[in-house]
């Protein structure tokens, strides 16, 4: 099937790493894995950081013009080159889809959305127009793919009769992480030499961009928690970068001698950083689900995380890690301390984490489920088509 892929928040070609870009690329890879031809429909970003009416209007008009060009281009192309299905990833009030519904309706093809969220509290405020656009797109969709079960309560009532749903767990290709874990000792020795780390102390790891807002808040909770544990022999490796880096480094000042900061790292190099770690630590303030939490577990690393949003769907509390109330630095410190003091429990959780990822979050299974849900859509007549 020829699939037009679109991510209004952040295209998969964007140069800045993030969990959102990672998931977009994984979805593309999963679709290609079962033989679909996936082409990026547009790099247009509809995201607005603030509800400025002028900017929101400009984005909408630009989106409408882009949609018109895509429709004209598709109609001018030979039939065997036209998209057979439109697939939008990550739809919410700050990044509505001004392209997909219009293109799908004009070409008479199915419209599919993965990870849609809807916030009723935005209905009457400055985000109202974007909120309404998200609701309309959800109502137009032939299939909604849910990666975060938290979203389903508000999204479900907006769907049209006969539309399908598919709940799918966040996924990745575990192979690079498993391979790196198999060479853990060599990687630990190399990283110890590179960063001047004590191989006899437990290594904690955090991987996240250093953006203002929730990411910075998560780092601050982590710094607060670890400052409570100075009597224990741990060291922390932080992998990330961004505009909030100076503030985040300052937050870790009380324990600076134990922290090593690395810049944002290419995906191909991340497995070599997860493998030597003893414990992955991330407070996950307002995290949708957290791809880094999944990556760590794929490498056999147990997790301590904040338990909000979709995180409990990634981390099995008491089995693959420990979850604490979101934003609670004292509880986070207690959970980290419990696993620092119990190497055998850490090892058991790490093994369980790797097994869980392989069984429930591997790309092969996700690709098969996506394929099974998408293929029937192209067999149904689409009565909303307009034009030739």
Q: What percent of the chain has pLDDT over 90?
A: 86
In 3D space, the residue among 296, 244, 290, 238 whose CA is nearest the CA of residue 263 turns out to be 238
> pLDDT tens digits, residue range 300-318?
999 999 999 889 999 999 9
Q: How far is it, in rounded angstroms, from Cα 222 to Cα 225?
A: 5
For residue 383, is pLDDT > 80?
no
Per-residue confidence band for 385, with pLDDT thresholds at 50, 70 and 90? very low
Q: What one-character DSSP code corresponds to residue 95?
A: B
> pLDDT tens digits, residue range 18-27?
888 999 999 9
Residues 6+ apart with CB under 8 A from 213: none
Q: What are phi and psi of 223, to 5 degrees?
A: -60, -45
Q: How far is it, in rounded angstroms, from Cα 328 to Cα 198?
A: 29
More confident residue, 252 or 153: 252
The CATH number of 175-360 is 3.40.50.2000
Per-residue confidence band for 285, with pLDDT thresholds at 50, 70 and 90? very high
In 3D space, the residue among 63, 16, 72 whose CA is nearest the CA of residue 42 turns out to be 63
Residue that the structure tokens 């890690």 belong to:
321
Q: What percent of the chain has pLDDT over 70?
A: 98
State the DSSP string of 46-84: ---SS--HHHHHHHHHHHHHHHHHHHHHHHHS-GGGS-S
Give the fold, CATH level 3, of 2-171+363-379.
Rossmann fold (3.40.50)
Least confident range from 23-27, 103-107, 383-387: namely 383-387
Structure tokens at 279: 């414990």
171 burial (CB, 10 Å; 0-12 / 13-18 / 19+) is: buried
- CA 200 to chain CA centroid, Å, is 33
**CA distance to 18, 29, 81, 295, 362, per residue, from 357 (Å):** 20, 17, 37, 9, 6
Opening angle at CA 292, ends 214 and 325, nearest 5: 50
> pLDDT tens digits, residue range 159-197?
999 999 999 999 999 999 999 999 999 999 999 999 999
pLDDT value for 382: 56
pLDDT value for 289: 82
State the DSSP string of 293-340: HHHHHHTT--EEEE--TTGGGTS-BTTTEEEE-TT-HHHHHHHHHHHH
More confident residue, 386 or 238: 238
| Domain span(s) for CATH 3.40.50.2000 in the chain | 2-171+363-379, 175-360
Q: What does pLDDT average to over the chain?
A: 93
Local structure of 273: helix, strand or coil:
helix
> pLDDT tens digits, residue range 44-69?
999 998 999 999 999 999 999 999 99
pLDDT value for 345: 98
Mean pLDDT, range 84-99, rounded to an integer: 96
pLDDT value for 264: 82
Local structure of 239: helix, strand or coil:
strand
Q: How far is it, in rounded angstroms, from Cα 103 to Cα 67?
A: 6
């Amino acid at each position: 099937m020829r699939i037009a892929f679109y991510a209004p928040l952040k295209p998969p070609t964007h140069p800045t790493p993030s969990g959102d870009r990672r998931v977009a690329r994984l979805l593309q890879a999963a679709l290609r894995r079962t033989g679909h031809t996936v082409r990026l429909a547009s790099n247009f970003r509809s995201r607005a950081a603030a509800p400025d009416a002028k900017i929101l209007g400009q984005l909408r008009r630009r989106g409408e013009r882009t949609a018109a060009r895509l429709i004209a281009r598709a109609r001018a192309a030979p039939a065997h080159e036209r998209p057979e299905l439109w697939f939008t990833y990550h739809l919410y009030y700050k990044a509505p889809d001004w392209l997909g519904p219009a293109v799908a309706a004009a070409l008479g093809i199915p419209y599919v959305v993965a990870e849609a969220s809807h916030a009723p509290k935005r209905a009457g405020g400055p985000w109202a127009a974007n909120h309404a656009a998200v609701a309309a797109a959800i109502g137009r969709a032939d299939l909604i793919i849910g990666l975060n079960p938290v979203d389903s309560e508000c999204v479900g009532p907006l769907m049209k009769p006969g539309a399908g749903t598919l709940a799918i767990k966040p996924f990745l290709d575990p192979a690079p992480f498993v391979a790196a874990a198999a060479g853990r000792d060599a990687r630990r020795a190399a990283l110890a030499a590179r960063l001047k780390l004590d191989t006899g102390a437990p290594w904690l790891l955090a991987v996240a961009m250093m953006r203002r807002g929730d990411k910075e808040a998560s780092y601050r909770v982590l710094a607060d928690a670890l400052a409570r544990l100075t009597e224990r022999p741990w060291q922390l490796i932080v992998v990330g970068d961004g505009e909030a880096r100076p503030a985040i480094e300052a937050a870790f000042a009380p324990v600076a001698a134990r922290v090593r900061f690395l810049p944002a790292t290419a995906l191909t190099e991340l497995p070599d950083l997860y493998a030597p770690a003893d414990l992955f630590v991330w407070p996950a303030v307002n995290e949708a689900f957290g791809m880094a939490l999944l990556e760590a577990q794929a490498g056999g690393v147990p997790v301590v995380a904040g338990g909000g949003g979709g995180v409990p769907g990634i981390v099995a509390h008491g089995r693959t890690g420990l979850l604490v109330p979101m934003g609670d630095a004292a509880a986070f410190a207690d959970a980290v301390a419990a696993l620092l003091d119990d190497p055998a429990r850490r090892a058991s959780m790490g093994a369980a984490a790797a097994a869980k990822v392989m069984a429930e979050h591997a790309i092969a299974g996700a690709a098969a489920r996506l394929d099974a849900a998408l293929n029937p859509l192209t067999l149904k007549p689409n009565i909303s088509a307009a034009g030739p």
